[in-house]
């Protein structure tokens, strides 16, 4: 399953003018964090998250307090293992321009092997 947020550039700019750039971004990040929490509550134990601010929002929404760094997926992006309410969670948190074109597929395969 892939969940993402996007709109045509003119729509994004209109929303940013109305709400402000920071507030518009916060709303999207909060929504994605809540979606991640809902997925975890329904049994999902592997997540690949793109975007630095989005990664932070997801980790915060899940209540992850520590991550164990695992093997590198791509330069600058490791697989990680965390816990949420005592349950294991495999995460790949990718920010900025890190990762190759096939990053998401590689990350999902690697996280499948990282889960306890």
Residue 98 pLDDT > 50:
yes
Domain contains 31: yes
Domain contains 13: yes
Return d(Cα 44, Cα 32) in angstroms, integer: 14
Query: Which structural domain range is residue 19 located in?
Result: 9-114
3-45 pLDDT, tens per residue? 888 899 999 999 999 999 999 999 999 999 999 999 999 999 9
Domain contains 2: no
CA 13 to chain centre: 23
DSSP character at residue 40: H
Kindly give the pairing relationship between strand 77-84 and strand 67-74.
Answer: antiparallel
Return d(Cα 76, Cα 78) in angstroms, integer: 7
Domain contains 3: no
- Which pLDDT belongs to residue 114? 57
What is the number of structural domains in the chain? Answer: 1
pTM: 0.86
CATH number where 43 lies: 3.40.980.20
62-91 pLDDT, tens per residue? 999 899 999 999 998 999 999 998 999 999
């Amino acid at each position: 399953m892939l969940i993402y947020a996007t709109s045509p550039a003119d729509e994004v700019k209109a929303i940013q003018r109305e709400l402000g750039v920071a507030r518009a971004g916060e709303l999207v990040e909060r929504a994605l964090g809540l979606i991640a929490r809902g997925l975890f509550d329904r049994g999902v134990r592997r997540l690949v998250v793109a975007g630095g601010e989005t990664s932070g929002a997801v980790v915060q929404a899940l209540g992850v307090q520590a991550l164990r760094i695992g093997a590198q997926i791509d330069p600058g992006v490791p697989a990680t293992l965390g816990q949420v309410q005592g349950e294991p969670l495999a995460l790949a948190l990718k920010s900025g321009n890190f990762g190759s074109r096939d990053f998401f597929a590689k990350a999902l395969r690697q996280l499948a092997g990282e889960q306890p």
